[in-house]
Structure 1
Amino acid sequence: MSPPGLSLTLRITLVTVAMIAVFFLVTATLLERAFRENAEDAVMTRLEAQLLLLMGVVEVSGPHEVRLPELLPEARLSLPAGGLYARILDRDGEMLWRSPSALGVALGDWRERQMFQHEMTVRWELPEQSFPLTFQVLEDREAYIAQIDRYRRTLWGALALLTALLMAAQALALGLWGLRPLRRVRTDLEALRLGENRRLEGSYPREIGMLTDSINALLEFERERLQRQSNALADLAHSLKTPLSALRLAVESGDGEHRDMRIQIERMQEMIEHELNRAQRLGPSPFQAPLVLAPVIERTCTALQRVADHHGVVLDTVLQPECTLRIDTGALFELLGNVLDNALRHARSRVRVTLGCGPEGLELCIDDDGPGIPEAERERVLRRGARSDTRAGGQGLGLHIVATLVRDHGGELSIEHAPGLGGARIRMTFPGA
């Protein structure tokens, strides 16, 4: 038998978690990349504006003579190590001017320092001459990196919170709505098991409806198969019973030489009776409705009252009315009939039937005030063909049939001393529902 698979709830949850995780991972990566590109574009646009402002305030007197006012258009250019730097280069790359913020900062390795840099080379026109000048504006990446880190923390925090909310909503929807049809099927199956319904009825989703239709078809097939088996056994038993009866009459009409043959015929007839009764029950059905036992016991005792009167035995009952058991009425009649028949034949004056039940289970006891069954013989008399009284007729199938019936219905049968009456007690116990 293979181990049970993952539950549907766990399967759906795992798939949902995986899909949400992949979706948010891709979304976060794309959003972060887009934000990074937009931030870089914003920095470059800002540097271009700073460069144009710088070009607007510069005073150029010659190819190597440039002068800027003390109050620069961007305050950070005046702060030492302010993160924003500017310089002006001549046609040979010689630095003509640099911002106060660049004092002590090696701007030559800006690529190694991964600075943002924007430059523009213009040809400066003077009345007597023209010459090229290169304007450069540079900015450290610390502010940009800090901005990206803040955005990343905010983004991933928000996505984590959104994931948790989505998972909670998914679990709530799955529990309250998604799996409701399966819970309804489970409830209907339990009602079917308890015998309250004969098939699964209800409005189910299409996928589950296909399953319930298959279950109903299987149940109907099993009922028909069991009925065919029961009919076949009954037909076989009846077909054998008629010629055996004729053979028995023929033997009984002869002389005493056929005594052994008559015994064997009686044994075969009892076995056929046993198989015929067995064909009527075929064991308990898992969908058997609970049977209220007290009325059936009362009817059985009423039917046997004439036998009790014949033996001079008082047959009384002490029954708890609400006790139920999943058992067929015919099987219960057979069980009670066998045990009560034995009790009435061996009792001196009284037989008592007691029925009780509770959360722990059900107990049915049949006591008599006869000679009882010795403790050493109790296990043997429950075996097929064994009898406690060898003087009586029959082949000892009664208690064996009863024990089989009790086991078939999940119970246990034991032979004990009858308290109060002093004879035998046949005690049958069944587990609680």
Structure 2
Amino acid sequence: MSRAPARWLERALLPGSPAHLKKSVTMTSPAQKLTPFRYLKWRWLHFRRSWTDTRADRIPSWSRLFLRAYFRLLGLVLLVAVMLLLVLAYVLTPGVVWHAFDVLPGGGVSMILVGCALPAVVAYRWMRPVWHDLVIIRERASDFTGGRFNTRAQVSHSVILGPLARMLNALAARMERLIAAQRDLTNGISHELRTPLARVRFALEILRQPSSTAEYDHALASIAQDVTELDELIDMSLTYARLEYSSLQSNLEPTSLVAWFNSQLTDATLMYADKQIVPQVEIDETAQVVMDKRLMSYAMRNLLRNASKYARSRILVGLSVRHGNVEIFVEDDGTGVPESEREHIFNAFVRLDRHTAGYGIGLAITRLVLHAHHGRIGATDPVTLAGARFELSWPVGVV
């Protein structure tokens, strides 16, 4: 069986094909050769079905696309030819124009044939690459519908379909990343829930038969602390999921940068009284920027909280505006972050030190907050102190 009949045979067996067509196809053995009559019949039935089927999931028809382009070009050619003949007839008289047709090889018939064949060639050369790109994009869209987001559509150089293919690939990459983030979030939450739940279960066993009043009170306090820890974990997980899966639409508003920065340091000084927090402000106190105060305050508190965990005694916090970007750094005199782990620590539920409190999700949320502001965050080499240094920046925006 030739390749072309085999392709039409395969399409004839698709859902929605006429019943008599399916019957005739299934009764034909693959080993038998198609007769010219039966092949033409299949072609005609497929052509008729492609022009009469109005379902949303119908198979795209090359003949429909080609004929539409051909008739449009043919109409344009006829319009130009008629206008040209009218102008020539007005200038040279109709008799001269008619005589010119007679002296041509083949007469006016040859001109008609050329006028009909030229649009067909142009329509084929124009629409065939477009049809090829459409088929590829349709196949990739079918893969995405089936959950195979690792496939990508071939990027076309067409000015029409090229952006569509790139958008489709971006959508697949986005969905693939969201699915991976959902899997990591689910695994991380299930892992982090085990420890506080185990402590709550142990405390409940003590409450059933406490040996003393002190042990009873200690068990109640332990349960209260674990419940608070679970509530914090759920809140942070919801915040991470909201930033990761949403379109990251921030509530941007003009904010006095120095006043906001000073309020963050004041709160941190009260909470971490055992650490010396030294500010370095290099901008005018009246400067204003556009940002989401709630999200950016969360990111700033997270950096200061991490610095207080690992710092020995001193934390250096700087604020400046350079090249149209707000730049903040938080540097401590702790043990620092190994260079090999400086990118890895921004992933969710990653902790370098399992002995300290936390869930390893704060820096992941901070990075999402900076992405929502079209900014960045990174861990760099320390400049003044000997510990870790985190730098974040985002555009000032229009006030």
TM-score by length of 1: 0.37
Specify which structure has the higher proportion of helix.
2
Specify which structure has the higher proportion of strand.
1
For the pair shown, the structure with the greater C-alpha radius of gyration is: 1
TM-score by length of 2: 0.40
